[in-house]
Structure 1
Amino acid sequence: MGTPSSTTVSVEKRETWSSSTGFILAAIGSAVGLGNIWRFPGVAYESGGGAFIVPYLVALLTAGIPILFLDYAIGHRYRAAAPLAYRRMAKRTEGLGWFQIMISFVIATYYAAVIAWSCSYFIYSFNLKWGEDTRGFFLGEHLKVGDPEISTSIVGTVALPLVLVWVAVLVVIALGVTKGVQAVNVIFIPLLFVAFAGLVLRALTLPGAADGLNAFFTPDWSALTDLNVWIAAYAQIFFSLSIAFGIMVTYASYQRRKANMTSSGLVVAFANSSFEILAGIGVFATLGFMAQQQSVAIADMKDLTGPTLSFVTFPAVINQMPGGNIFGVVFFGALIMAGFTSIISILLGVAASVQEKFGLSQRGSAILVAAACAIPSVLLFSTTSGLLALDTVDQWANNVGIVISAIVMTVLVVWVLRRSRVLARHLSTVSTFKVGRVWTVLIGFVAPVFLIIMLVQKVISLINDGYEELPQWYLNVFGWGTIVFVVVAAAILTAIPWKGRDDETFTPWPPIEEESR
């Protein structure tokens, strides 16, 4: 028997993942990115070594997984990318969805540049083209880094691979969820884990690897009394899971009606954290080898985190390794796969939002979004000031923009709209792992409190201390200007009338037990 008309579910044609495995691999592909490889090891080392695992796991359980579940609940219940999903939850919250999508747009423009660098270094690895002076090669010959300015001087060694990256992204997004995004992740994610596991095993056989692991895992328990260490743990979990900027809302919207959402989320979260720890082992085993070769302590080494770890320190290590070019090919191949699976998740959310708002075809929205991202990407991040612009935009987008998004999202859902009970019920009816009052406390109190502390501390630091000794005008343009751009663009997109799907007739899925009556 059918359900009464009062609980009739609106039927809409929407592509879905072919299976839960496809969804999980795609979500892992989004979460596991470049930051897992070059950010986590350095943050852990600087924040208490082995002791950092304690706040890291606490942050994962109290903020990372709960907010990931929140993204899943919104996307799955309201079956749309972030702007339309929030609009369906409450019309006045559409702007938050566009704020998240515009953060994704900004991140995609510079994230593609790092993938382009990885493509170049993949080629360089075959003959170790970077030579002995890896820093000079990266900053000079490869990027041709100049003064902080608004440069129009395009660097060909960056622009060409960057254009190719955007062409590849366009093709995948245009193919859609199943034939494009899922197909890439089904191939790349297993390959990525196999390749990186091989790198770690090779690193563990290097002389000095044990010294690196001791430096990485030796606990400094006094660090647990430092608030900054806990903030660093929450920041790492938060940024590495791809939460609160529209990606997981969009991914969840393509899940099937009775998909097991919370169990999938647990697999994604712990797979992401496992990869981070694996990356830490590989990176510090390799750094231990380099430290022994140079007869220095790891504590005295530079470039233990960020892009320079991958493009300066690792090439220097590869130079000294037997069979280093093979190590280099696999390492930079892994970076390409990790970066590419992340950027297609970022762009899928943007393309889906544009498609829904303006009533475009899947291919049309993919072309429009890829072109709109590629143009500023090439013009800003393949110039002689591209590295400085990238570093500055990344700092503000991640440490200010995404944190604001998460605070507003959690406060709106729990305290203003009071939708946490409805969303908890939705998750519990489709999942084996149930959520309830504890989840509401975590997303409504614990997570926003830590996020507010993080945001206030970061904003005060950026205002008082600036960033990387860059001129204030430069920080105003590429730092604070990024946040202004996101806010203004979100406001404009919200104000434009809907030309796509008519959300007035949308009905959220009722609980499964109601459908079976």
Structure 2
Amino acid sequence: MQKRETWGSRTGFIMAAVGSAIGLGNIWRFPYMVYENGGGAFLIPYFVAMLAAGIPFMILEFGLGQKFKGSAPKTFASISKRWEWLGWWQVMVAFIITTYYVVVIAWAINYLVLSFTQGWGDAPKDFFFGQFLGLTDSPMNLGSVQSSIFSATAAAWFFTFIAVFTGVKSGIERVSKIFMPLLFILVFIFIGRGLMLPGATEGLNWLFKPDFSAIMNGKVWADAFGQIFFSLSIGFGIMLAYSSYLPKDSDINNNACMTVFINCGFSIISGIMIFSVLGYMAQQQGVPVSEVAGSGVGLAFITLPTAINLMPAPVFFGVLFFLALVVAGLSSMISLCEVTVSALIDKLNITRKVAASIICALGFMVSIAFTTGGGLLLLDIVDHFVNNFGILIGGFIEIIFVAWLCDIEDLREHVNKTSEIKVGSMWTNSLRFIVPTMLGIMLVMNFVGDISENYGGYSNAAIMAFGWSLLVVFLATALLLSRKEYAFAGILGKNKSFLKRR
């Protein structure tokens, strides 16, 4: 069996973990989530979710990965061979995310180039859906491959390949140490100039003005917990893989807290960056901020380019914003790819170079479907089902398994052994009650919503082909892969004492 790599430094691990957690969602999802859910009042349930669920779950995953020294499948197989499938479910979720997430990074790369000349023109919406995407009328009609998106996708995959191929210390850690400081510098420069724009203060007022009545709304709390789960990269193998490279004496609890706090802090400064621009845009167009506020792809590739056209220094703002998107996207992309690569290394006992080559080549081939005219529609459905069911199901089963069927007190002793900050019964109770309850509520809400009516108004054929069937593929693949024995079978069952109910 190959000797497991380790991080070169604690800073390197923190930067990599933060790089995984900080992604496009922090920039384009969190600000609108705050705006829609009570403004500044939303920060109350958000911080409660962070303390009651985010940090406990992060400590759990850091502890599991560091204790069992393996990817998600290997970690669960080390506890019980019967639970290995759960790890492969999480690996499949991460793999599929890489195949479309990389295409969004490719869009950002293209727009980074376009930002030097505002190449999206005077009608960014028409340009994005028409000339750039060549959008078709249905996800069942993929149309032709868009050459500029294909080329940028290939470049993003190649960069990811180099980072993962060269190893944990030489590749992932080195990139993270450059990318994370760079990302914060870009955002702070943008904010420094953006706050001087007329109307910026009004934008921030719209964002942070508290509506405390929203706290009584259950959906607001569900959104707060959902944002925490999705933005921290927990529940689908990333943190298990990253923490498996930690040395034995690592401060698990402190590392987890730092990762969560930095991620959440970045989300807040992203809100300031986005809404300062939206405030300026609203003033220039003589409309309220509510008419220009948005989230997701529309915010990044339609609303912000429209705002950049109105700015006194469009090249400055455009380059900063899209470079920040590219950096945030690539850091998360690397971590998603590492989930699958580390799982393959553990399972087949092959070299990192071989595993990285297989995964990146396969991932690139699947990604081509998302570079077509129907790619955005296909991406929309797949992303919806992966986030609302794939990630939540994996996280929910993981927390039930570890907190209720395994010796959670043994894990608590393990994480406390080398940590300055000690966790007690509150940590255990949070993992046993609060986290599974909130994940369960979100799952039920999502299931009821999707059964009631098709997501996005898509056809039954499209929803079945690219939505529900995807979950069946996850399960079938997970069960199939878990049947194959590990090349180094000595890991199996050696931690049976950790499983309370066998």
TM over 0.5: yes
1:492 aligns to 2:480 (yes or no): yes
1:152-207: per-residue Cα shift (whole Å, max 9, x none)? Answer: 52111211110111111111111010011000000010000000111111111111
- Other-structure match for 2:392: 403
Q: Secondary structure at the match of 1:396?
A: helix
Deviations along 1:252-305, one digit per CA (max 9) or x if unpaired, are 000011011110111110000000000001111110000001111112235x10
1:435 to 423, 444, 447: 423
| Secondary structure, aligned partner of 1:127 | coil
2:225 is the alignment partner of 1:234: yes
Structure 1: how far apart are the matches of 2:211 and 2:266? 23
State whether structure 2 residue 366 is matched by structure 1 residue 370. Answer: no
Q: Distance in 1 between matches of 2:354 and 2:488?
A: 13
1:68 to 58, 69, 75: 58
Once the two structures are aligned, what percentage of the paired residues are identical? Answer: 39
The reply on whether 1:264 has 2:255 as its aligned counterpart is yes
Q: Offset of 1:327 from its aligned partner?
A: 1.0
1:319 & 1:233 partners in 2: Cα distance? 33
Match of 2:409 in 1: 421
The one of 449, 468, 473 aligned to 2:456? 468
| Residue 474 (structure 1) shift | 0.8
TM-score between the two structures when normalised by the length of structure 1: 0.94
Match of 1:249, SS state, is helix
SS of the equivalent of 1:128 reads coil
Aligned length: 497
Does 1:324 pair with 2:319? Answer: no
- CA distance in 1 between partners of 2:216 and 2:468 (Å): 32
Q: CA deviation at 1:502?
A: 3.2
Structure 2 gaps, min length 5:
none
How far apart, in 2, do the equivalents of 1:122 and 1:226 lie? 39
Task: Please tell me whether the aligned partners of residues 175 and 363 of structure 1 are also in contact (alpha carbons under 8 angstroms).
Answer: yes
Offset of residue 149 of structure 1: 3.1
- Aligned partner of 2:28 in structure 1 is 38
Aligned AA for 2:379?
A: L
Find the aligned partners of 1:484 and 1:395 in 2 and give their Cα distance.
15
Q: 2:284 aligns with which of 279, 283, 293?
A: 293
Alignment-derived partner of residue 179 in structure 2: 188
Distance (Å, rounded) in 1 between the aligned partners of 2:93 and 2:394? 9
TM superposition shift of 1:506: 5.7
Q: What one-letter code is carried by the residue in structure 1 that aligns with 2:243?
A: A
Instruction: State the one-letter code of the partner of 2:335.
Output: S
Deviations 1:302-359 (A, max 9, x none): 5x10011011011111101111111111111111110000010011111010111112
1:460-517 CA-to-partner distances (Å, cap 9, x unmatched) read 1111122111112111111112212211111111112222463149679x9xxxxxxx
Q: Report the AA paired with residue 371 of structure 2.
A: S
Alignment of 1:60-459 (within 5 A): 60-150=50-140, 151-301=142-292, 304-378=294-368, 380-416=369-405, 418-459=406-447
Q: 2:456 is paired with a residue of what secondary structure?
A: coil
CA deviation after TM superposition for structure 1 residue 26, in Å? 0.4
Contact 1:360 1:500 in 2 (8 A): no
Structure 2 length-normalised TM? 0.97
Q: Distance in 2 between matches of 1:437 and 1:444?
A: 10
User: Is the contact made by 1:223 and 1:229 (CA closer than 8 Å) also made in structure 2?
Assistant: yes
**Runs ≥4 residues deviating over 4 A:** 504-508
Give the Cα separation in 2 of the matches to 1:124 and 1:280. Answer: 24
Q: Deviations over 1:61-82 (max 9, x none)?
A: 1111111111111100000111
Contact 1:17 1:23 in 2 (8 A): yes
Q: Do the aligned residues in 2 keep the contact of 1:421 with 1:436 (CA within 8 Å)?
A: no
Root mean square deviation, CA, Å: 1.6
Secondary structure at the aligned position of 2:457 is classed as coil
